[in-house]
Amino acid sequence: MRPRSLFLLFARAELVTWALLILGMVLKYVTRTTELGVRVFGLLHGVVFLGYVLVCLALWTNHRWRSTILARALLAGVVPFATLWFEKWARRHKELTGDWRLGRNGSYAYSPQEHILAWAMRHPAAAILLGALIVAGTTAALLLAGPPTAWLH
């Protein structure tokens, strides 16, 4: 899968999970019918968001984005529906063009993150598994930590 396609997959999944989470919040706080939507869609949104972060980090490394572009991409994942805005901005500024640069016969990796991405390009199945383990481990740690509102007490 090309970098642009991978980004679009996660950016649009982030959009959908935001919509589902907001629906769950309406059911919980407005209609007061159930909080199941927040629990299920909140977890789903969190998992997709963590995947989106990993994809943004991969594109930052691969496309040699400036830190400000990475910051915009990450902020877009935090603000509801903003991944659509970032996607349009990135297309207009050609920040999603090109293929994977560090593949088997690609460029030499210089930085630590480029070495990681080059390894991922050479071992895609292992990289997907490792990414899934990172997302699952982070999700488990956050679930153990409790809701963000409890962190302030």
pLDDT of residue 150: 78
DSSP annotation of 29 = I
Instruction: Give the range among 42-51, 57-66, 103-112 with minimum mean pLDDT.
Output: 103-112
Q: Give CA–CA dist 127/144, Å, rounded.
A: 25
pLDDT (mean) for 95-114: 87
Q: Is the pLDDT of residue 149 over 80?
A: no
Among residues of the chain, what percentage have pLDDT more than 90?
83
| Sequence-ordered list of residues with C-beta below 8 angstroms from that of 32, at least 6 positions apart, any chain | none
Q: Give CA–CA dist 145/143, Å, rounded.
A: 5
Token output for 63? 């496309």
**How many CB atoms sit inside 10 A of residue 6's CB?**
18
**Tens of pLDDT along 10-38?**
999 999 999 999 999 999 999 999 989 99
pLDDT of residue 152: 75
**Tens of pLDDT along 112-132?**
999 999 999 999 999 999 999
- Has this prediction a pTM greater than 0.75? yes
**Tens of pLDDT along 37-54?**
999 999 999 999 999 999
pLDDT of residue 153: 67
